[in-house]
Structure 1
Amino acid sequence: MRTLTCAPGESTAKVHTSPAPLMLHRVMIPPDPIQRFAELFERAKQAIPVDPNAMVVATVGDDGRPSARVVLLKDFDSRGFVFYTNHESRKGREALAHPHVALCFYWQPLNEQVRVEGRVERVTDAEADAYFQSRPRGSQVGAWASLQSQPLPSREDLVARVAEVEQKYAGQPVPRPPHWSGLRVVPDRIEFWHAQESRLHDRHVYLREDGGWRTERLYP
């Protein structure tokens, strides 16, 4: 991600780059938003060398307070967008208790943003097991050692917990913790935003309707 460096009192507007003009007409809009996302994602992987799959995940708590954080998209297809997490973490607890969540991707080199809204469902145990076994062993150990989102007295406590898990599973595969799995966001709204000159941006939204998708153009 590019760092914005501003002198005291300087507006960040001065470091904004002008977008390259690209106007999408209705006949150019693909009927399938997942196909459109896949094409953009391939372009993002070429343009962004580090974590093009980074996305903001927004959840809400019992008190109505929103919470957002950056996580990595691990899979997507016609069923939805998948990320993995500790279900006892704040995002895990909130997503399962209030399953309507929002995702946001911003690919600055492409002047593109994608916003996804939908309902969360758990991935299958088979999917979660397969992904967990593909992770580096250190990450597998960390999934057991970290009491994610709970207070941590000191760094030494975490290091000690890691050592305990490493000793417990020494010389054998690390199983997936029961509280660690994947969440799939099943979309019912996907919006594509493309930057244009003079802030007259292109916005197209796909709305789930009768098993298909309806598209609309939005004012910027």
Structure 2
Amino acid sequence: MNTFHNSPKFLKGGIVLIDPESGVVRRIIALQYNPDTLSRTLQVKGIGEGGDRSQALRLKGPPVETLKLDAEIDATDQLEIADGTATEVGLHPQLAALEILVYPTSSRLQSNNSLAAVGTLEIAPMESPLTLFIWSKNRILPVRITDFSVTEEAFDPALNPIRAKVSLGMRVVSVDDLGFSHRGGDLFMTYLRNKEQLASRSKGGALSALGITGI
């Protein structure tokens, strides 16, 4: 049997949750299969139409970047080797690991309910871990999950899902959202600087290619 030692190693995209204060990694979620497409939209933060002419070319801050992807999850391989978890509950653990990204913890909900019951007038909104979407070393993005939907496509005899597609919508959180001193803001600045370095490696064009000799 031939072994190709020089075959490239395919990386996985995924999501990492970290403590925003200490930077300790709380959970790593690697996608089982990389999605075929990753859609990105950048909404420019300009001054707007009809404003002061002196401001027409100014940017107010980083654009609002949103991402969308569809991730497939399949328990077929685990079922073939009689994996205990897959046999018992199918894909429930993998789906739950993704779904709790958009849930506050049950303990925090219970704590807030107890505070409200004793008459606490102001209860601080629940802060979640810092969520990072990682798509290679060139894209480590602090994000907030904005859309989440699951389509369960096949089930075992006990009605546990064994094949599913998860659609994720994410919004990149920048220094405008977090500030420069926040760990997420620092990661955003690293992402932006890396983007600038990549842009500097793009070869510039020539005016002749555009059919003109000067401007």
Which bracket does the TM-score occupy, shorter chain normalised? under 0.3
Q: TM (normalized to structure 1)?
A: 0.23
Q: TM (normalized to structure 2)?
A: 0.23
Please state which structure has a larger fraction of its residues in strand: 1
